[in-house]
Amino acid sequence: MIDGRIKFRHLQCFLAVAQHATLQKAAVALSISQPAVSKTIKELEEILGIRLFDRGRRGAEMTPQADVFATYAEAAVQALQQATNFMGPARKPTNPVIKIGATPAMTASFVPQALMAFRRRVPNIQVSVLTGTTSYLMDQLREREFDLVLCRHLDPEQMAGLSFEYLYADPLVVVVRPGHPLLASPPSPPSSPGGEQVQRFTAILPPKTSINRRAAAPLAMALDLGPINDFIESLSISFGRIYTINSDAIWFVPWSAVKLDVENGAMVKLTPTTRSGDESIGLIARTTGLMMRSNFVPTPDMQVLIGAVRDCAAQRRTEIF
């Protein structure tokens, strides 16, 4: 039987401290004083008969018992909020906005495909889509600025408190404009007499801090492009597209960002003249997926959206790269 002494404010306060890891930040988020937060957490600990946080110089760290309690506390709060929104007498005419974070490459083709499939199933739902780097999106997801994030996979230690579901492979490719000189006469290997010709072409590369940058050098070698010394670094899909279409640049970019352009003939993907035995070239940073908070309980509309994302990802996995 539920202990009647546990109030909604206890759960809200507990989840705020768990999220921000300090009483001070939790107090700011809840717009109450720090002593009030401390008093509420102490009350909850006394009711449950367990210690929820270990307090020290690094802030408030959750105990193993708190990790278990958090799963049910967040589910309870979300369920109550959903019920209030649904049953309230002054229910708003529009549903709450579903907030999605996505990397620039995924917003170029995959996210529109998934959202069109979603809106065919559930019309009149507001959706917000914001882009950023994977690290930024993860930080914002933890801060509850997003409901879900579509991004690349990182090391497990960087994804603490988050769940990741594999969607599809998104390799790095090199594209050029139609009529590019390399299409008329593919580059010679760097060791051959004509091997320096590629140096007159500017490369557009992911920044050094980007996961995709690791794949650029081996991909350039596989395409006989030689070492890249003249380059521009950018994560912007719109910049890379405009610059590449209007110049002789060679663009190193995730496949999903240029898939539609290649299919429509606006760009051409370079391929090795001979098939390399190394199938991993360009695939070093390819894993993309759906990320959510580990204890997050999606609303019914979000579950439909997640189903649409999974269906579109399954279709993409069948495509021959």
Domains and CATH numbers, the chain: 8-84 (1.10.10.10), 97-163+288-319 (3.40.190.10), 170-185+199-285 (3.40.190.10)
Residue 190 or 120, more confident:
120
Residue 62: what are its φ and ψ, rounded to 5°? Answer: -70, 140
Query: Identity (one letter) of the amino acid at 61?
Result: E
Residue 253: count of CB within 10 angstroms of its CB? 27
Contacts of 116 (CB under 8 A, 6+ apart): none
Determine which helix (DSSP H) or strand (DSSP E) holds 131, and give its type and residue range.
strand 127-131
And the tokens for 125? 């739902």
**Overall average pLDDT of the 293-317 stretch:** 91
Query: What distance lies between CA 217 and its chain's CA centroid?
Result: 24
For 315, the 3-state DSSP assignment is helix
Residue 40: count of CB within 10 angstroms of its CB? 23
pLDDT grade for 93, boundaries at 50, 70 and 90: very low
Predicted confidence at residue 237, as pLDDT, reads 92
Q: What is the pTM of this model?
A: 0.62
Half-sphere exposure of 213 (CA within 13 A, CB side): 12
Sheet holding 250-254, edge to edge: 231-233, 203-205, 250-254, 172-176, 268-269
And the tokens for 185? 């006469």
Tracing tokens 């409901």 back to the chain, one arrives at: 147
**Overall average pLDDT of the 182-194 stretch:** 62
Predicted confidence at residue 271, as pLDDT, reads 87
Buried b (16+ CB within 10 A) or exposed e, 299-309: bebbebbbebb
Q: How many angstroms separate the CA atoms of 65 and 46, rounded?
A: 14
Predicted confidence at residue 278, as pLDDT, reads 47
User: For 186, left (φ over 0), alpha (ψ -120 to 50), or beta?
Assistant: beta
**Alpha-carbon dihedral angle through residues 293, 283, 271, 107, given to the nearest 10 degrees:** 10
